[in-house]
Amino acid sequence: MRKNLRNSGIDKKLVDDVLNQNEQRFRLKLEKGLSPARAVENLELAEIIDVQAIQPLLDNFYKLTHIPIGLNDLKGNVLAGAGWQDICTKFHRVHPVTCRHCVESDINLSSGVAPGEFKFYRCKNNMWDAVTPIMVGYHHVGYVFAGQFFFDDEPLNYEFFRAQARKYGFNEEEYIAALEKVPRLSRESVDTGMAFFMTFANMLSQLSYSNIKLAQLLEERDVLVNVLQKTREDFDRAQEVGNIGSWRLDLCNNVLTWSDENHRIFGIPKGTPLTYETFLSTIHPDDREYVDGEWKEGMEGKPYDIEHRIIADDKVKWVREKAYLEFDRDGSLIAGFGITQDITERKRAEEALRLSNIYNRSLIEASLDPLVTIGSDGKITDVNNSTEIATGYSRDELIGTDFSDYFTEPEKAKEGYQRVFQKGLVRDYPLEIQHKDGHTTPVLYNASVYKDESGKVIGVFAAARDITELKKAEKALKKAHDNLENLVEERTGQLEKAYNSLKESEKSLSEAQRMAHIGNWEWDTLTNRSYWSDELYRIFGLTPRKFGLPYSEALNYIHPDDRDYMNNAVKRALNGEPYEIDYRIISADGTERVVHAQGEVIFNEENNSIKMRGTVQDITERKKAEEALEKIQETHIKEIHHRIKNNLQVISSLLSLEAEKFGDEKMLESFRESQNRVASMALIHEELYKGKELDTLDFAAYLQKLAADLFDSYNLGNSGISLKLDLEKIHLDLDIAIPLGIIVNELISNSLKHAFSAEKSGEIHISLCKKESFTANDYIPGPCPSCTGKNNLHYILTVADNGKGIPEEIKFPNTDSLGLQLVNLLVEQIDGYIELKMDSGTKFTIWFRNPET
């Protein structure tokens, strides 16, 4: 057994001494009257073991593992122990109730553990204990007890222990301080320790039983040797799995021993003579002086727990070393035990994390936008330099304060922050930053939550985009828009006068219609007799008579093409459905006239038809008047389109004159873009004025004219930029044509302004077709948010160029570009779908439908 304890990490000499002394003292007990014939079940643990011999072994084990240990008999008496915590000795074992809990826990909760096994349980004072039995023969005489401790992966319920301190009258703060000192152990280390305790308990059991049953000594010792060997193998395997080696230094015998894992870590073959110089030679040259100094200070009593580099197998490794040194009464070092852990991978991960943090911080600081991280309590946790500039406060002044304090509307800022937690993000939320000196900066606030490794939301990452210049541009555009509104309002007044004049004409015509002849009639369906008014006879060109014409005879005066139509209306009326229709008649003198007829059926209580009555109005003159009015309206509408076109051209000219007052290139460009937009609308009304259709536009002809005007506007007649048109003749409703014209204006203008470098040739390609004409290789999108599916989109418009493409900083469709924002809004207005491709230049494809389709 002693042979197999070698290199186990346990003080072999101490174990040998304990076993020898225990055996000798037990022999003395036998000689002094403890008869071997005495029944084993009548022996108590205190009579079997030598507490004085075992106590140093328990102390030594506690120094190595920090696991509290004790030997208890079956009555709950603690015979020997090491590592007892203040929470037990100063509190639980002092108070009568908690002391009773300890004893009851030791006796009751630890019962039922089989030999060779161990059991975890929470004592009645709510801390973890572990126990394995001590057997003599087949009789239970005591326990090896480990505790008390907590597992390092479980949270402590401090409120429970505070309540327990108050319940038993302990000083709360001293009690919690003692609680903090209770060991936090990993489950692996406790399992390993309990494996040793089970072996230790078995050793005690076997030794005690062998002293009583000397004949079984050899067999029992062989069993103990096998158990220790297995423990040794498990210990070596645990070191290999954890990359942790161990060493022991015996200065009394001048012996230094290493575990197998320690040899592997340092790259020194087993069997190599081990000295301090051998160890020091493996240290990295840059760390050698540091390690030597720490070891020398450790020999004087300073704790030895360091990290440094070594060179093993021509590779640089990082190791952590921790040593437990033993000194004699004179303070001289006599022995030591230590561990060496290979932490190379951890160091690599830490270095990678450090470099990643530096890189991420550089990106954050490079941003021109203020960036802020905010905790769940609304307090700022970090900022970048742009935030310091925007607020006028330093990073140290900002961290820990409420983020909403730096906005002109703190409550609105808090509302946006809460929205981030509800929805996960916020986009383009308008706020104003309040600078330390009082000036404000308008920003668009964008934020999203960020989470820890477990997915728990721990805060918000926010960015603020300065929109000062955008506000200025909007203000200038609003001023131009207001001027435009005034002009439009003035012209609208003129148009209203023209419209009122037209309404007066309609009123006169309406009065003339009311003066038209109307005759009435009744038909008794039971007797088949009818009544006609004199005016009705006049309408049909007949001489009035006493009774009206029978229905079958009256049908003969209906125009042959309208006879079935009229007859079916009467049949439906007899089933309860009144009618109101227009049809033609042939009067007695052969004149064709148009009448408006109404009819209904009267039913009796049994729901049987008894009478039918109605009116017939001669609307021939009204029909003629309506046809004449329709021609007049057509003339008026054309005149309106002509006037709107003229008014829009006046507005365009005013914008041009207004633009001459500004020297700022961006402002001139804004006016120029507004002028082009007005011109695109004016061109539509010009095409309508020229065309035959009043409410639809030949969009292909319009696109040809619009593209030519834009090329002239940008003076590109002699440049290398060419225009290619591939247009089907398609007529579009005005509600589609006007927004679509502005969209094309924006896209062609963008290509002419930005797509081509100076003096570089290129091509702008515009195509318009029905979806059926689109090539099979072209992509047709799936359902878009504004429509039920791609089958609803019947037309495709493409504006493309082979220029240098849109810059990467412009993210379509979420862009700050006013023109592209207008394009997106107008596409949404016509319930269309837009797609951008940038394979070789820029290509915008728009799918849309015409309401008439």
DSSP one-letter code for 404 = G
What residues does each domain of the chain span? 45-217, 243-350, 367-467, 517-625, 662-848
571-620 pLDDT, tens digit per residue, is: 888 888 898 889 998 988 888 989 899 999 888 888 888 889 988 888 88
Inform me whether the pLDDT recorded for 205 exceeds 80: no
**pLDDT score of 109:** 65
Query: With pLDDT > 90 as the criterion, what percentage of the chain qualifies?
Result: 11
Query: Which residues share a beta bridge with 425?
Result: 448
* Mean pLDDT of all residues in 281-295: 91
User: Tokens 């924002």 appear where?
Assistant: 821
Burial of 47-69, coded b for 16+ CB within 10 Å and e otherwise, reads ebbbeebbbebbebbbebbebbb
* Amino acid 846: pLDDT: 92
Read off the pLDDT band of 715 (50, 70, 90). Answer: low
Least confident of 11-15, 39-43, 107-111, 683-687: 11-15
Q: DSSP 3-state helix, strand, coil percentages of the chain (rounded to 5)?
A: 50, 25, 25
210 vs 439: which has the higher pLDDT: 439
Q: How far apart are CA 376 and CA 412, in angstroms?
A: 17
The answer to whether the 517-625 and 662-848 domains have the same CATH topology is no
Decide if pLDDT at 294 tops 60. yes
Q: Token digits for 518?
A: 């109307």
What pLDDT does residue 20 have?
A: 59
Higher pLDDT, 463 or 499: 463
Give me the pLDDT at residue 177, please.
93
**pLDDT score for 3:** 37
Give the pLDDT of residue 733: 83
**pLDDT over 70 for what percent of the chain?**
78
Average pLDDT over residues 30-42: 52
The answer on pLDDT for 783 being more than 70 is no
Average pLDDT over residues 718-732: 83
CATH superfamily of the domain spanning 662-848: Histidine kinase-like ATPase, C-terminal domain (3.30.565.10)
- Residue pair 619/513 in contact (Cβ under 8 Å)? The answer is yes
pLDDT at 543: 86
- For the ranges 607-621, 622-636, 666-680, 698-712, the maximum mean pLDDT occurs at 607-621
> Which residues does residue 726 pair with via DSSP β-bridges, in sequence order?
767
pLDDT at 680: 61
At residue 7, what are phi and psi to the nearest 5 degrees? Answer: 60, 25
| pLDDT band with cut points at 50, 70 and 90 for residue 509 | very low
Residue 811 in this model has a pLDDT that exceeds 90: no
772 has pLDDT over 90: no
Kindly indicate the confidence band of residue 819, based on its pLDDT and cuts at 50, 70 and 90.
confident
Q: Which CATH number fits domain 367-467: 3.90.1580.10, 3.30.450.20, 3.40.50.720, 3.90.1150.10?
A: 3.30.450.20
How far, in whole angstroms, is CA 90 from its chain's centroid?
52
Question: Domain 517-625's class?
Answer: alpha beta
pTM for the predicted model, two decimal places: 0.30
Checking if the pLDDT of 640 tops 90, the result is no
Predicted local confidence at residue 466, as pLDDT: 85
| Angstrom distance (rounded) from CA 48 to CA 38 | 12
User: At residue 506, does pLDDT exceed 50?
Assistant: no
Band (pLDDT 50/70/90 cuts) for residue 328 is: confident
Which of 395-409, 518-532, 653-667 has the lowest average pLDDT?
653-667
CATH 3.20.20.10, domain 243-350, yes or no: no
pLDDT score at 417: 85
Residue 254 to residue 323: CA distance in whole angstroms: 17
Alpha helices in 691-779 (DSSP H): 699-713, 734-750
pLDDT higher at 157 or 782: 157
Asked if residue 557 has pLDDT above 80, the reply is yes
Residue 108 has pLDDT above 80, yes or no: no
What is the pLDDT at residue 5?
36
Q: Quick check: helix, strand or coil at residue 505?
A: helix
Interval 668-690: pLDDT, tens:
555 556 656 666 665 665 555 45
The domain 45-217 is placed in CATH, from the list 3.30.450, 1.10.287, 3.40.1350, 2.40.128, at: 3.30.450
Separation of alpha carbons 36 and 570, rounded Å: 130
Residue 360 has pLDDT above 80, yes or no: no
The chain-wide mean pLDDT, for the chain, equals 78
Q: Which of 489-493, 495-499, 637-641, 757-761 has the lowest mean pLDDT?
A: 637-641
| Radius of gyration of the chain from its Cα atoms, rounded to whole angstroms | 51
pLDDT value of residue 635? 54
**Between 529 and 222, where is the model more confident?**
529
**pLDDT greater at residue 243 or residue 235:** 243
Q: What is the pLDDT of residues 451-492, one digit of tens each?
A: 887 888 888 888 888 888 887 887 878 887 778 777 778 777
Region 277-290: what's the mean pLDDT?
90
Tell me, what's the pLDDT at 712? 78
The length of the chain is 853
**Has residue 47 got a pLDDT over 70?**
yes
Torsion sign, CA atoms 202, 204, 210, 212: negative
> Residue 146 burial by CB count (10 A; 0-12/13-18/19+): exposed, middle or buried?
buried
pLDDT at 173 over 90: yes
Name the pLDDT band for 559 (thresholds 50, 70, 90). Answer: very high
SS3 track for 212-266: HCHHHHHHHHHHHHHHHHHHHHHHHHHHHHHCEEEEEEECCCCEEEECHHHHHHH
Distance CA(315)–CA(150), nearest Å, equals 39
Euclidean distance between CA atoms 738 and 72, whole angstroms: 96
Beta bridge partners of 372: 383, 462
Q: 431 versus 737: which is more confidently predicted?
A: 431
State both tokens at 350: 């830490």
Residue 222, both tokens: 């062989």
The pLDDT value recorded for residue 845 is 93
